[in-house]
Amino acid sequence: MARRALKLASLTAAASGIYMYGNKFLDPNDFGIVRVGRAIATTAVITYDYLTSLRSVPYGTEEYEFLKSQIKELFVSFEDTPLGAASLAQVHKAVLQDGRTVAVKIQHPKVQAQSSKDILLMEVLLLVVKQIFPDFEFMWLVEEAKKNLPLELDFLHEGRNAEKVAYMLKNFDFLKVPRIYWELSTRRVLLMEFMEGGQVNDRAYMERNGINVNEISRNLGKLYSEMIFVNGFVHCDPHPGNVLVKKCPTSGKAHIILLDHGLYQVLSESFRMDYCRLWQALIKADMKRVQKYSRRLGAGDLYPLFACMLTARSWESVNRGIDQSPVSASEDMEIRSNAAAYLPQITQLLNNVPRQMLLLLKTNDLLRGIESALHTRASASSFLNMSRCCIRAVSTYQRSKSLSLYRRAQISLTEALSLWQINLYELFLWLKGSQLGNWVIALLRRMHHSTY
């Protein structure tokens, strides 16, 4: 049955492949750090290819009608027009014979054959550019493409990632990951539960549907802090088309729907611990430890630039404490102008840091873009959630390395006290910003004055 789905869905993709390059469906955010070289080098070639050879079954011919009749054996309905399309695949809505509504993700037929040529072309072009501009250090793009593109082209791998992250984050009841229908899936066709909602950066949609914007931003931060610091298994393509929000009609709770699980980064234990401790140092504005752990992560003497890139804050703000004040318009402008001025140093840094860092930097940028669209950037709650996850991750690691029962108990006590302090500080912030808190503060002041 899966083979039949592959054949029919692939041919359907051929018949509707032209939608890939319609402005309605092409998401510019899909071309991330791993695909950028490929996109620049071969867009014209691939466009021509999809518009000609992929439409190999002419619309309205006898063969086309025969394929349409075979599709009806699997689906009650199958929408020819894709819900969305990108560089590797497109997604159709369909209804199975048993009544289940599904999303059918179909890989473009020539992507497999074309991908190795694209990588080779990208490698040649980057080598040529490096000969002209010796400071141009972007060969890591080729290395990342060689490693990640074959994984993204294997939809069974994507399905396994979806199931793994759903199990890993099962304690978050607000997270929804589409169920995979394995009996109808192959390496090039993925059938999954159909889910819909508004894009996570659509503030207007949330306001119309009574969804708390701050809650969504806070919960998204929780998800990614858990993935990065605690589990070391990170969904690295959180652009708005892959993260949807929807209010549950029965419970009234807002759900976050996580889609497209092809691109994940697995973090080694040593990298994850250094990254945890670096963020702890950044949040505490401990410059000695910022320097120490930045160097351990390959930044060398460029550690101030590395800290600024991670936090998207100025060096002055990093020294003062990134949780002390939100990003101002002038600081944002300073960051943008410095990005161009320090391009050689940035390319050197990207070439020196561990490869695990590259997709994390991309992920951080995408998440910050969402926060900016929702006007929730640099909120105190996001840093508190990060701190909790870092404390838990480091404590778990320390316990695993300790043979002494007394030492493990000591680590657990320190962890509990640290988490309690964060909870107390969060309560203080909540009281400070709430009407109840203002009433309590006013009452305490009156009691203080009446005493004297």
What is the rounded distance in angstroms from the CA atom of residue 374 to the CA atom of residue 384?
Answer: 19
Question: What pLDDT was estimated at residue 213?
Answer: 93
Packing angle between helix 36-52 and helix 140-152, nearest 10 degrees? Answer: 50
- Average pLDDT over every residue of 216-226: 94
What is the rounded distance in angstroms from the CA atom of residue 190 to the CA atom of residue 339?
Answer: 39
Confidence label for 336 from pLDDT (cuts 50, 70 and 90): confident
Question: What pLDDT was estimated at residue 129?
Answer: 79
Output 67 or 246, whichever has higher pLDDT.
Answer: 246
Domain boundaries defined on the chain? 32-108+154-194, 402-451
Output 379 or 38, whichever has higher pLDDT.
Answer: 379
pTM score of the predicted model: 0.79
CA dihedral 390, 395, 400, 403 (to 10 degrees): 160
The structure tokens listed for 12 are 């359907």
Question: What pLDDT was estimated at residue 126?
Answer: 81
Alpha carbons within 13 angstroms on the beta-carbon side of residue 410 total: 7
Question: What pLDDT was estimated at residue 308?
Answer: 92
70-92 pLDDT, tens digit each:
677 788 988 888 888 777 888 99
The structure tokens listed for 19 are 């939608």
What is the rounded distance in angstroms from the CA atom of residue 399 to the CA atom of residue 349?
Answer: 33
Confidence label for 435 from pLDDT (cuts 50, 70 and 90): low
Output 189 or 337, whichever has higher pLDDT.
Answer: 189
Question: What pLDDT was estimated at residue 128?
Answer: 84
Highest mean pLDDT among 68-77, 189-198, 346-355: 189-198
110-128 pLDDT, tens digit each:
787 777 787 788 888 888 8
> Residue 192: pLDDT above 90?
yes
**Number of Cβ within a 10 Å radius of residue 80:** 12
Alpha carbons within 13 angstroms on the beta-carbon side of residue 415 total: 18
Cβ-Cβ contacts under 8 Å for 198 (sequence gap 6 or more): 205, 206, 209, 244, 245, 246
Beta bridge partners of residue 198, listed in sequence order = 245
Q: Write down the H helix ranges in 251-314.
A: 269-284, 287-296, 303-311
What is the rounded distance in angstroms from the CA atom of residue 390 to the CA atom of residue 383?
Answer: 10
> Residue 433: pLDDT above 70?
no
- Residue 411's H or E segment, with its range, is helix 405-433
Output 59 or 332, whichever has higher pLDDT.
Answer: 332
What is the rounded distance in angstroms from the CA atom of residue 126 to the CA atom of residue 121?
Answer: 9
Question: What pLDDT was estimated at residue 140?
Answer: 77
Q: Which residues carry out catalysis?
A: 237
Of residues 191, 198, 163, the one with CA closest to residue 177: 163
3-state secondary structure (DSSP) of residue 191: strand
Question: What pLDDT was estimated at residue 250?
Answer: 87
> Residue 194: pLDDT above 70?
yes
Architecture of 32-108+154-194 per CATH? 2-Layer Sandwich (3.30)
Q: Which residue has the tokens 């619309």?
A: 59
Of residues 427, 17, 84, the one with CA closest to residue 239: 84
CA distances from 313 to 112, 192, 378 (A): 40, 39, 10
Beta bridge partners of residue 92, listed in sequence order = 104
39-60 pLDDT, tens digit each:
333 333 323 332 333 344 455 6
157-180 pLDDT, tens digit each:
999 999 999 999 999 999 999 999
Backbone angles phi, psi at 103, to 5 degrees: -105, 130
Question: What pLDDT was estimated at residue 49?
Answer: 31
Long-range CB contact pairs, 47-54, < 8 A, 24+: 47/21, 49/110, 49/114, 50/17, 50/18, 50/20, 50/21, 50/108, 50/110, 51/18, 51/21, 53/110, 54/13, 54/14, 54/17, 54/18, 54/108, 54/109, 54/110
The structure tokens listed for 309 are 């890139």
256-294 pLDDT, tens digit each:
999 999 999 999 999 999 999 999 999 999 999 999 999
Output 333 or 447, whichever has higher pLDDT.
Answer: 333
With a pLDDT cut of 70, the percent of the chain lying above it is 79
Question: What pLDDT was estimated at residue 259?
Answer: 96
Q: Report how far apart the first and last C-alpha atoms of the chain are (Å, whole number).
A: 84
